Amino acid sequence: MEVKDAILKVTPETDYSIFDQIEAKDHEQVIFCSDPEVGLRAIIAIHNTSLGPGLGGTRMWPYKSDKEALLDVLRLSRGMTYKAAVAGLNLGGGKGVIIGDPKKDKTEALFRSYGRFVEGLAGRYITAEDVGIDVRDMEWVRMETKYVTGISRALGGSGDPSSVTALGTYAGMKASAKKVFGSDSLVGKKISIQGAGHVSYYLVKLLAQEGAEIFICDLFPEKAHAIAKEFGARVVDKEDIFDVDCDIFSPCALGSVLNSDTIPRLKCAIIAGCANNQLDSETVHGPMLIERGILYAPDYVINAGGLINVANELEGYNREHAHSQAERIYDTLIDIYDHAEKLNIPTYTASNELAIQRVRQIGRIKQVYASTSNYSGRLGELNKR
Ligand code: NAD
């Protein structure tokens, strides 16, 4: 979140060193990709590869400046290191950004050119879809590089990760209930969900099966009504979702929903949802939740099912294995909550600490030369040093 703030502070007058920015967050490598003939300006940031190749999606966005793009890719790639580490995956953190307008600037040549830069990194970075990128764009990237994951089932990949993300979110809700209520049963628990999209569909299905009382809203009320009808939930107006008297509030739509306007309105004991970047500001709104006595399941921990899914694709996709890994989010969150309680720190700080600890420990054991890799499949190949 400091980086987001930093973006706002960047002005032409700002004294700006690219190496200072790279070193400030301990990045290993940043690659600037330029191909003026096809209009490609992209940056790939590899944050840390102690655990494995840097994995993270490529985003296409009309950044106002190169600096803004750089800060965004540095922030996002570091987040991927933490996310993979705390999910117990043998992956590092990476991210790519293409500077451009996704509505106007997409061409086959641009994405194939980008794909060649990814290929040139020889597996240090593996890419996937992110904001502004769709299936067709990734198909072009894949024409030039094998280092792409999160591919559709039709093309032999793992397909839409939403059901695995929902399973992980459900496991995370149960762990949070265990911590707060002493039991992980969600029977009769009131759960209000913001967003009736892909993940929410599977999440509501699991919650309804268990017997939770569900409230749901969406920007497009018909989406909320469709889910409510199928699984027996109650539809709430999108403006009223923060006021629902409930046990668990589950943000499953947008980022920055936990802010100075919404937090005072919440009437819940737990926040546990799949949306990315839920806290508008970690430093301001994290403490505000603590003051209000609300347990916050760090977003990148509870929504790691999607990453777990694409990581499994790299090893030869096995849905059962992906599901059992997503269910382990339960234990991961319990560890994070215990660590936070022991040190009296916010839960998101506790998860960052545990992520860094794993990166350091596993990075250290790799100092010992081993003649063969412990890993199998394609990920094993990528992990060989
Ligand atoms: P989605 O686009 O299918 O669903 C999001 C829904 O939220 C849409 O129906 C949209 O209309 C609704 N919405 C937007 N603004 C809203 C508002 N102000 N109030 C109420 N509803 C609103 O997305 P998804 O795949 O279900 O993902 C949901 C969230 O989880 C996103 O933040 C996404 O980045 C994150 N996430 C998803 C996955 C995954 O596997 N799909 C993995 C990790 C994180």
Tens of pLDDT, residue by residue over 289-328, are 999 999 999 999 999 999 999 999 998 888 999 999 999 9
The predicted pLDDT at position 376 comes to 61
SS3 call for 378: helix
Residue to substitute in 194, 252, 313 for testing ligand 1 pocket (most ligand atoms within 8 angstroms of CB): 252
State what percent of residues in the chain have pLDDT above 90. Answer: 81
Nearest CA, atom 42, ligand 1 = 306
Contacts of 247 (CB under 8 A, 6+ apart): 177, 181, 189, 190, 191, 268, 269, 270
The predicted pLDDT at position 138 comes to 93
Q: What is the mean pLDDT of residues 355-360?
A: 96
Distance CA 312, CA 292 (A): 38
Residue 172 domain-assigned?
yes
> Same structural domain for residues 312 and 248?
yes
> Same structural domain for residues 252 and 150?
no
> Same structural domain for residues 268 and 297?
yes
Note the pTM of the prediction, 2 decimals. Answer: 0.89
The whole-angstrom distance between residue 184's C-alpha and the CA centroid of its chain comes to 24
329 lines ligand 1 (CB under 6 A): no
**The pLDDT of residue 208 is above 60:** yes
The predicted pLDDT at position 373 comes to 57
Contact 177, 185 (CB under 8 A): yes
The predicted pLDDT at position 157 comes to 87
The predicted pLDDT at position 161 comes to 92
Contact 55, 149 (CB under 8 A): yes
Write the single-letter amino acid at 295: L
Residue 58 domain-assigned?
yes
Whose tokens are 């790519």? That residue is 96
> Same structural domain for residues 122 and 183?
no
Residue to substitute in 203, 218, 308 for testing ligand 1 pocket (most ligand atoms within 8 angstroms of CB): 218
Contact 43, 69 (CB under 8 A): yes
Q: What is the pLDDT of residues 78-102, one digit of tens each?
A: 999 999 999 999 999 999 999 999 9
**The pLDDT of residue 280 is above 60:** yes
Q: What is the pLDDT of residues 143-192, one digit of tens each?
A: 999 999 988 888 888 888 999 999 999 999 999 999 999 999 999 999 99
> Same structural domain for residues 135 and 279?
no
Task: State the pLDDT confidence band at 225, using cuts at 50, 70 and 90.
Answer: very high
165 lines ligand 1 (CB under 6 A): yes
Q: What angle do CA 70, 74, 78 make, to 5 degrees?
A: 170
Contacts of 222 (CB under 8 A, 6+ apart): none
355 lines ligand 1 (CB under 6 A): no
Q: If you average pLDDT over every residue of the chain, what do you get?
A: 92
Contact 127, 46 (CB under 8 A): no
The predicted pLDDT at position 312 comes to 92
Distance 187 CA to ligand 1 centre (A): 25
195 lines ligand 1 (CB under 6 A): yes
194 lines ligand 1 (CB under 6 A): yes
Q: What is the mean pLDDT of residues 230-237?
A: 98
Contacts of 210 (CB under 8 A, 6+ apart): 185, 186, 187
> Same structural domain for residues 174 and 283?
yes
**The pLDDT of residue 351 is above 50:** yes
Query: H/E/C letters for each residue in 137-196?
Result: HHHHHHHHCCCECCCCHHHCCCCCCHHHHHHHHHHHHHHHHHHHHCCCCCCCCEEEEECC
131 lines ligand 1 (CB under 6 A): no
The predicted pLDDT at position 210 comes to 98
Q: What is the pLDDT of residues 14-37, one digit of tens each?
A: 567 889 889 988 999 999 999 999
Nearest CA, atom 29, ligand 1 = 275
> Same structural domain for residues 71 and 186?
no
Nearest CA, atom 11, ligand 1 = 219
161 lines ligand 1 (CB under 6 A): yes
Q: Which helix (H) or strand (E) holds 155?
A: none
**The pLDDT of residue 6 is above 50:** no
Q: How many separate helices (H) and strands (E) can be counted in the chain?
A: 15, 12
Residue 32 domain-assigned?
yes
The predicted pLDDT at position 379 comes to 66
Q: Find the domain containing 16 and state its range.
A: 12-154
> Same structural domain for residues 195 and 283?
yes
Lowest average pLDDT, out of 127-136, 231-240, 277-286, 367-376, goes to 367-376
> Same structural domain for residues 137 and 194?
no
CATH number for the domain spanning 230: value is 3.40.50.720
Distance 65 CA to ligand 1 centre (A): 27
Beta bridge partners of 93: 48, 55
Residue 31 domain-assigned?
yes
Q: What is the pLDDT of residues 104-146, one digit of tens each?
A: 999 999 999 999 999 999 999 999 999 899 889 999 999 999 9
Total number of domains constituting the chain: 2
Q: What is the mean pLDDT of residues 258-275?
A: 97
**What does the longest C-alpha to C-alpha distance in the chain come to?**
61
Q: What is the mean pLDDT of residues 186-203?
A: 97
User: Strand runs (DSSP E) across the chain, as ranges?
Assistant: 29-35, 40-48, 54-55, 58-61, 92-99, 125-126, 190-194, 213-217, 234-235, 248-251, 270-271, 295-296
> Same structural domain for residues 204 and 315?
yes
> Same structural domain for residues 72 and 203?
no
The predicted pLDDT at position 315 comes to 87
Catalytic residue among 67, 95, 189, 238: 95
Residue 350 domain-assigned?
no
State what percent of residues in the chain have pLDDT above 70. Answer: 92
Residue 95 designated active-site: yes
Compute, in degrees rounded to 10, the torsion defined by CA atoms 60, 63, 97, 144: 60
Contact 318, 46 (CB under 8 A): no
Contact 336, 347 (CB under 8 A): yes
- Considering only CA atoms, which of 360, 357, 336 is closest in space to residue 348? 336
169 lines ligand 1 (CB under 6 A): no
77 lines ligand 1 (CB under 6 A): no
**The pLDDT of residue 7 is above 60:** no
The first and second tokens of residue 97, run together, are 């950004």
The predicted pLDDT at position 15 comes to 63
Residue 93 domain-assigned?
yes
Compute, in degrees rounded to 10, the torsion defined by CA atoms 366, 368, 374, 378: 50
Distance 194 CA to ligand 1 centre (A): 9
Distance 14 CA to ligand 1 centre (A): 35
> Same structural domain for residues 178 and 218?
yes
Residue 190 domain-assigned?
yes
- Considering only CA atoms, which of 14, 71, 62, 20 is closest in space to residue 41? 62
Distance 117 CA to ligand 1 centre (A): 30
CATH number for the domain spanning 83: value is 3.40.50.10860
Q: What is the mean pLDDT of residues 67-86?
A: 95
Residue 358 domain-assigned?
no
Distance 225 CA to ligand 1 centre (A): 16
Distance CA 343, CA 332 (A): 17
